[in-house]
Structure 1
Amino acid sequence: MTHKITFYPVGNGDCNLISFSDGASMIVDCNFRQEAEEEDSPYFDVWKELTSEKLNTKFGLPFVDAFVLTHPDQDHCRGFAEKFFLKDPHKDAPSKSEKDDKLIVIGELWYSPRVFSEHSRELSDDAKAFKKEAERRMKLWENNDANKNKDGNRIRIIGYFDDEKIKNLPDSVKAFPGDTVKSLNGSSRKEYRFFIHAPFKDDIEGNDRNCTSIVFQIKFDVDKTSDVGKVILGGDAEWRVWRKIQEATDDDTNLKWNIFEAPHHCSYTFFSDSRDNEPEQSALNFLAYREGNGYIVSSSKLIKPNTDNPPCQKAKNRYLDAMDDKEDEDYFKCTQLKMTKVMKCITP
């Protein structure tokens, strides 16, 4: 079995499924549109494919080993409250109706508390549901519950925090920028690992919520060869975040990528504050870490030559300019054209 990452076509939003060679899986963000379930809908029914074809089964429900919410904007967590099983499956077994609804059980929840504490008044119902589920799982550790480190209850805290209750959690469930995470859902992983880039402890000038997005790199081994594939995902992180990531990273291998998801749905904020500005040099420097025929993926609606931002045609042009084969758009993918699947991990 090979590694595979699927970028689903959800318009200006994010929902990615990573299927690892050992059978584990990870969903990064979700944008489950209710209208996608309607007959003749123009939207791809991501949830239907996940629950009928892609995920394993546990507790009589679809099961994903980990769910990562990069940040709580609605286009990154739409449908979370309705489509996931948000209880302890060991104490509160799924009902028949929950099984009929195919609610997804999350083995391990990746949670960055900082953005939630700073923007609690702005949260959507789905974001509030995610925060409540994270707090439920942390409470199990606080109470030393016997089920705290079992499927459906695990949590991983990403980044810095001020909450004393979180500080009391064991180091094994925390990860900070500069850390390499070698486990997933309670098991050590030999064929892949996660390098955490952000969010940082200190404030970064700019859009606060986007500047606290989780940013991480996944390194994949293939056929016993280490680090053959490298994927970097970063939610809606703006150019200042990417500049600071480069300043803070000592080992350049943690910046390299074969697949890079264009931040904020290919808006110009990866390059500068305004589309009228020239790209920041730090943004261009980051794109130079591309390995081989690396792919850039825009999780967005169709990119057109208009004033939209996101997605921004000018940003797409800047990405193409940074590629070696800039006359060839084969390595720039927009999810809106069709469901974009990049198989195996692109080999340099």
Structure 2
Amino acid sequence: MHKLTFFPLGNADTTLISVENGQDFLFDFANVADPDNPADKRAKVDAELRNYMKSRGKDTFEIVGFTHGDSDHTKGSDEFFHFDRFPSLQGNGRFKIKELWVPAGMIVEKNSEDDARLLRQEARHRLREGYGIRVFSRPQQLADWFESEGISIESRSHLITDAGQIAPGPTLQSGGVEFFVHSPFGHRQDEETVIDRNENCFAFQARFSVDGILTDLLMLSDVEWEFLTAIIDITRNHQHDDRLHWDVCKIPHHCSAFSLNAEKGKTKTTPTDSIDWLYGNRENFQQVKQHNHRTFRPRITTKIKLTKSFSVSGWSQ
């Protein structure tokens, strides 16, 4: 059985996808809870993941993705992960990363601090060496960085995935899951000009297949309303409405503060028309299903377990 685990962290994110074939994909790592404060009910991510990996007899995550470099998505990474770039941050119970997934912003950012800085250096090291990394971007967005490193874009193009593509690696056939990339993306201003948008935020749809039934997870990281609206409009313009379908949606934790509309109401914020379609107008997805002749479930299937945290009683539907 596939399992999705969403750790209750308040204003922070950590999500674990455990697939039936034994692979584990971790997205973001925010060890923000105070272990010395009994009143802090947030999940103790470090301890819970250590116990989980011990129960699996593993020391490696097949994929670790960071949707962006803010501390509420990276805090504590320096003590939890094995960094190939730094011998001083290896061994001693640290967990290895087979493939690191990051948006281009985590490569080109110049002012990263703390955990984000270490992760940037790890990502750059892997990209320089040409292994164990996937960067989400248009290749041209990284042109200046590659030039400064004396590396040709062509020699690393197989490690870069643009929006609108399925990420290489896990497939529905081999692992029961695939990842469709929504962001970062390039917005075509005219025939000659493409502007990179939301370069610091990785958003995607994970599609699971169990016994011929498809179940979709939409992971929106901290995408703000302007970029989310653009993602929806671009995807629909390319007639990929099914890639916006969700049975489970991880909404941006900033919610109505930044993720629904520029204008905020006193007690209720009205989303843009596109965001309202994504979250509220579910009838449209029935048309998507019929049009594409795909088998969807309008709710979580019994083949996927959904849990809030290992320390909290989970639930399945």
- TM-score, structure 1 normalization: 0.69
Q: Is the 8 A contact 1:71 1:210 kept in 2?
A: no
76-85 vs 272-281, greater mean Cα deviation:
272-281
Match of 2:26 in 1: 27
Residue 120 in structure 1 maps to residue 120 in structure 2 = no
User: Structure 1, residues 67-93: CA drift from partner, whole Å, max 9, x if none?
Assistant: 11111111011111221110279xx79
Q: Secondary structure at the match of 1:26?
A: strand
Q: Secondary structure at the match of 2:34?
A: helix
Question: Within 5 Å, which residues of 2 pair with 1:188-337?
Answer: 189-202=174-187, 212-223=200-211, 225-226=212-213, 228-249=214-235, 250-276=239-265, 278-287=270-279, 288-289=281-282, 292-293=298-299
Measured in 2, the distance between the counterparts of 1:261 and 1:190 equals: 22
CA RMSD of aligned residues (A): 3.4
Q: Secondary structure at the match of 1:271?
A: coil
Identity of aligned residues (%): 24
Measured in 2, the distance between the counterparts of 1:25 and 1:52 equals: 14
Aligned partner of 1:40 among 32, 38, 41: 38
How many Å apart are 1:128 and its aligned residue? Answer: 0.3
Residue type of the alignment partner of 1:25: D
Residue type of the alignment partner of 2:96: V
- How many residues are matched? 276
Measured in 1, the distance between the counterparts of 2:259 and 2:307 equals: 16
Match of 2:164 in 1: 178
Match of 1:302 in 2: none
Q: Is the 8 A contact 2:30 2:74 kept in 1?
A: yes
Q: Is the 8 A contact 1:182 1:189 kept in 2?
A: no
CA 1:244–1:210: 2 relative to 1, 3 Å: closer
User: Structure 1, residues 209-240: CA drift from partner, whole Å, max 9, x if none?
Assistant: 967311100000002x05x2100102100112
Higher strand share: 1
Residue type of the alignment partner of 1:217: Q
Match of 1:104 in 2: 95
Q: Is the 8 A contact 1:234 1:261 kept in 2?
A: yes
CA 1:65–1:40: 2 relative to 1, 3 Å: same
How many Å apart are 1:112 and its aligned residue? Answer: 1.3
Residue 76 in structure 1 maps to residue 66 in structure 2 = no
Residue type of the alignment partner of 1:193: E
How many Å apart are 1:173 and its aligned residue? Answer: 2.1
Q: Is the 8 A contact 1:178 1:196 kept in 2?
A: yes
Measured in 1, the distance between the counterparts of 2:50 and 2:247 equals: 28
Q: Secondary structure at the match of 2:253?
A: helix
Q: Secondary structure at the match of 1:260?
A: strand
How many Å apart are 1:182 and its aligned residue? Answer: 4.6
Residue type of the alignment partner of 1:237: V
How many Å apart are 1:49 and its aligned residue? Answer: 1.4
Measured in 2, the distance between the counterparts of 1:93 and 1:211 equals: 30
Question: Relative contact order (alpha carbons < 8 A, sep ≥ 6): 1 or 2 greater?
Answer: 1
Match of 2:5 in 1: 6
CA 1:15–1:169: 2 relative to 1, 3 Å: farther
Residue type of the alignment partner of 1:222: V
Q: Is the 8 A contact 1:7 1:339 kept in 2?
A: no
- Structure 1 unaligned spans of 5+: 142-147, 149-153, 296-332
Q: Secondary structure at the match of 1:183?
A: coil
- TM-score, structure 2 normalization: 0.75
Residue type of the alignment partner of 1:280: T
Measured in 1, the distance between the counterparts of 2:188 and 2:64 equals: 25
Measured in 1, the distance between the counterparts of 2:240 and 2:185 equals: 17
